[in-house]
Structure 1
């Protein structure tokens, strides 16, 4: 029964009397928001765009309407879902300092535009559940939503990905100076989930997003949700309990809806948010993928990537990974801790700078500055690997790895549309992350994509071809088996599917022609390369496949 499950969750978070008075409030929300909906399982066709609500505009219509048109038109055969980054009124961090979680920023459109996007495809809405803008009414009024720790709160073990002050002073309405917990910046004030009013309020927000068209909710920065004195204040058991409570509410109110947790941390910590497979996140980000792929191309060696991919346990039933190479943020380095050497990390930092980007840092346990993320587009990072005129080949090879792996792939809009580093934007805002957040004009984008031979057009059509190969076979369904191939250091290979519907994807990270026999990869049967020219003969196990520099073979079994 729902009430029993919620009581269990609440009892793990609050004293018994507080849990009992909070329970009926959550039950009322459950009854209010419960709606039957058709649950569609994830499939090979699921490829999702990651974009800002105003990523593309035309100067005439609300950007959300332009996005809907783009998704229904030029992108319709490439992506069937979209992750819209925060579109609420905001004051900083390009949307992640939310003033009002229940409103749509009038500059991008209205709720009717959001609902229209969700009506035609899977829609992932971003829920900034950890914090709010310093300009929100809760901060201005200094309500119980603000996390203001007592003076004896021990913060000496706090782990967070920023070097800014943890506590920020504010003047309260009574004129006194209070200190608010600010994990990410002075303009992003953490919510106090120790107050059950906050839990009820944010649960209402999440269920409201589902009612307005979302089928997936992304829990931004959720690892930092709960704070306890003397602890790291990351991944606390209470945080997992809040997620379990939200999962219970989602399963009851909107069966088929999904939760995805954004936890940019080492892999072993990241996958803990699957829970037992039925009680926490449906999807977990594969943050380690991007730095390991980039390192493979930089060093011409896939051994670290192959070793990591081969070590992945299959996700629990009913869950899967969300794989991506680029997003609105930089390329995180912390998720690959223990997977890359200090020399490799330093090399990637140098690569980001050579690409015209930069590096962001975090504070380590002893106060030292540690590289946190590379602030560059994936496209420019791959371009900086070699000055050989083969940038597009490297971009497509890297994305072939993304599209072949088990899970749901997400394509950053800037990567799909061939957008390069935006140094002018960084100079304008003073923020390194702006390098990857350029907004586009529809007319200019259309001209660029329609111009034969342009960088954007070549990248876009190459990506579209790879997505079509993935979507054409359920061997690439998120639930389809995966086997990472043991091959030479210059090769990354993965086998997907079973019996008569099997595929091999082979990717070279070498700058010269390379050859490999299928038998040496442990594969039998005959295989057709779906990227090869028409009429190319199938390969048998003893045949040699020659891959050009940065080449890809997309093989389907033929017998």
Structure 2
């Protein structure tokens, strides 16, 4: 009699839920073979943190930095080694596979590195110096992929890999982030088919009801682990499972599929991490933690619109209310914090947190600062879906107009993000103070291109060396801030966080290290006016010596007043750890 091992039992439990009609033992056996797992592999302990306060993830395209006659991945690696070593320890390289559109997210071949960027050796070299995060583009692939070409010819592999529906089906409830038609008509030898396209007609959705599709993705996952990927970003995973007659988002099978992939990944590489990319309203986003058995991290999508709104209005009430409503992540899970990325500032995660008027003011201000607004259709009306602008330009003033505080406001935004509970992700263009790229928008006709500039490394090094350029000022201030952050145990992604009530013009919260030795009071003037606060309001313990980590100076009179210049950030600690 074959006694089921713990691993087999776990995998089969997931499978029975997702594929009740299949032989779970047989499918499990095949998955373990694809993942090269021994069925007796011990289960890693639950609820382990695979991160510390030292973890900062730089987000970049493989070709954000270019040098003539050099593979962009090599250029990126050299830049990170020379400029960011000891400051940033992880890198998220956005899809580096051959693709047909959407700057990488319409993948043509998951097993290959795009020739224009480099090869797997370049990827592995980066992963030997920096913890590597990569995309598993799991919901859809390119309509120019071999699989879809085969689908159109009724050939294997691919002929049943894609989700199809009938134009008569009721798809009125389907939730989508785009305004294009959902179904794409395709002629095949066995007749006309209508392929499901959540995002664009070049991005055709997989049909995970076919277990062969799962097999393909387990193979891909194993390949990425072998090539040094430690953090997986599950792109657009909320849409993975579809059922006609439902909203086709966050279905129970989708959650179970993430749990299954996590079980396989963590048995293969116990410290690998899964981050789900679900750009949806806050309460839906939080569901991807499961019970500590799904994503290790979820993207904190509400942070970018709320933080930008705070700094443009000079009022932190919404940000504060949201912070207080966020549950502390349980041990073994944490938040992935970011305020800028390759996409725009998504507004759906602010729905229910900002009202329609506030969202409109935000969109109008971004427009005034040279940004673009992308729209989506909801119940027949158009709503702003995303603000497309470089973060540096988004913070060039307030809703009243531009002013002289752009760099201070920008640094303040990052001082807030770096201090919050979670792992910070910093877009490379935020590190460099990159501004709107209008030429790229004109060339591509895509709003998102405004924030996807490609730097010539020579031009970049020139402006970084010029002490009068804003790029030099931003880069150096950002690096100093990060260096101070990564030395503080109270900034561990799972250290306690408590929101302070200091009015609407001053944002404050308290972090405490897990061993309770270090406290940091994080206080920010989020307005363009000087602000004063009584030290007694912060409740600093009298018997301790307090020190501002950012200004690198001791705090004098605990009975006096703290005066904050416009956009000044202070991190007050009782336990000073010098950064190296």
TM-score, with structure 1 as normaliser? 0.96
Q: CA deviation at 1:330?
A: 0.2
Q: Which residue matches 2:182?
A: 166
Q: Which residue matches 2:193?
A: 178
Aligned pairs (5 A) from 1:448-463: 448-463=463-478
- Contact 2:49 2:332 (C-alpha < 8 Å) held by counterparts: no
- Contact 1:524 1:540 (C-alpha < 8 Å) held by counterparts: no
- Contact 1:274 1:316 (C-alpha < 8 Å) held by counterparts: no
Q: Distance in 2 between matches of 1:41 and 1:116?
A: 22
Q: Which residue matches 2:454?
A: 439
Q: Which residue matches 1:117?
A: 126
| 3-state DSSP of counterpart to 1:229 | coil
Q: Which residue matches 2:386?
A: 373
My pick for the range that moved more, 367-376 or 91-100, is 367-376
State which of 173, 177, 182 in structure 2 corresponds to 1:157: 173
Q: Distance in 2 between matches of 1:460 and 1:63?
A: 21
Q: Distance in 2 between matches of 1:500 and 1:243?
A: 37
- Cα RMSD over matched residues? 1.9
| 3-state DSSP of counterpart to 2:36 | helix
Confirm or deny that 1:530 pairs with 2:549: yes
- Contact 1:354 1:384 (C-alpha < 8 Å) held by counterparts: no
Aligned pairs (5 A) from 1:259-298: 259-277=274-292, 279-298=293-312
State which of 208, 218, 222 in structure 2 corresponds to 1:193: 208
- Contact 1:397 1:552 (C-alpha < 8 Å) held by counterparts: yes
- Contact 2:49 2:333 (C-alpha < 8 Å) held by counterparts: no
- Deviation per CA, 1:195-243: give whole Å up to 9, x if none: 1000111111112111110111000000000001111100000000100
Q: CA deviation at 1:266?
A: 1.0
- Contact 2:405 2:528 (C-alpha < 8 Å) held by counterparts: no
Q: CA deviation at 1:271?
A: 0.9
Aligned in 2, Cα 1:425/1:25: closer, same or farther, shift over 3 Å?
Answer: same
State which of 129, 141, 150 in structure 1 corresponds to 2:150: 141
Q: CA deviation at 1:355?
A: 1.5
Aligned pairs (5 A) from 1:470-549: 470-498=485-513, 499-525=516-542, 526-532=545-551, 536-549=553-566
State which of 60, 63, 78 in structure 1 corresponds to 2:72: 63
Long gaps (5+) in structure 1 = none
- Deviation per CA, 1:38-96: give whole Å up to 9, x if none: 99831111111000011111012111111111121101132100011000000000000
| 3-state DSSP of counterpart to 1:119 | helix
My pick for the range that moved more, 497-506 or 223-232, is 497-506
Q: Which residue matches 2:217?
A: 202
Q: Which residue matches 2:12?
A: 7
Q: Distance in 2 between matches of 1:420 and 1:44?
A: 29
Confirm or deny that 1:552 pairs with 2:566: no
Aligned pairs (5 A) from 1:379-394: 379-385=392-398, 386-394=401-409
- Deviation per CA, 1:464-504: give whole Å up to 9, x if none: 11111111111101121111111121111121124441111
Query: Once superposed, which parts of structure 1, at least 4 consecutive aligned residues long, lie more than 6 Å away?
Result: 33-40
Q: Which residue matches 1:217?
A: 232
Aligned pairs (5 A) from 1:14-29: 14-29=19-34
Long gaps (5+) in structure 2 = 1-5, 152-158
Q: Which residue matches 1:412?
A: 427
Q: Which residue matches 2:248?
A: 233
Q: Which residue matches 1:336?
A: 350
Q: Distance in 2 between matches of 1:286 and 1:223?
A: 15
- Contact 2:166 2:194 (C-alpha < 8 Å) held by counterparts: no
Aligned in 2, Cα 1:181/1:558: closer, same or farther, shift over 3 Å?
Answer: closer
Q: Distance in 1 between matches of 2:25 and 2:517?
A: 56
| 3-state DSSP of counterpart to 2:270 | coil
Aligned in 2, Cα 1:544/1:558: closer, same or farther, shift over 3 Å?
Answer: farther
Q: Paired residues, what number?
A: 554
Q: Which residue matches 2:63?
A: 54
Q: Which residue matches 1:347?
A: 361
Aligned in 2, Cα 1:257/1:117: closer, same or farther, shift over 3 Å?
Answer: same
State which of 313, 335, 345 in structure 2 corresponds to 1:299: 313
State which of 259, 266, 291 in structure 2 corresponds to 1:251: 266
State which of 50, 53, 73 in structure 1 corresponds to 2:82: 73
- Contact 1:375 1:432 (C-alpha < 8 Å) held by counterparts: yes
My pick for the range that moved more, 496-505 or 469-478, is 496-505
Q: Distance in 2 between matches of 1:440 and 1:18?
A: 52
TM-score, with structure 2 as normaliser? 0.92
- Deviation per CA, 1:246-286: give whole Å up to 9, x if none: 01101211111010000001111101100111x21001000
Q: CA deviation at 1:508?
A: 0.8
- Contact 2:167 2:194 (C-alpha < 8 Å) held by counterparts: no
Aligned in 2, Cα 1:543/1:157: closer, same or farther, shift over 3 Å?
Answer: same
- Contact 2:464 2:472 (C-alpha < 8 Å) held by counterparts: yes
| 3-state DSSP of counterpart to 1:349 | helix
Aligned in 2, Cα 1:512/1:40: closer, same or farther, shift over 3 Å?
Answer: closer
- Contact 1:527 1:540 (C-alpha < 8 Å) held by counterparts: no
State which of 77, 84, 95 in structure 2 corresponds to 1:86: 95
Aligned in 2, Cα 1:87/1:460: closer, same or farther, shift over 3 Å?
Answer: same
| 3-state DSSP of counterpart to 2:241 | coil
Q: CA deviation at 1:540?
A: 4.4
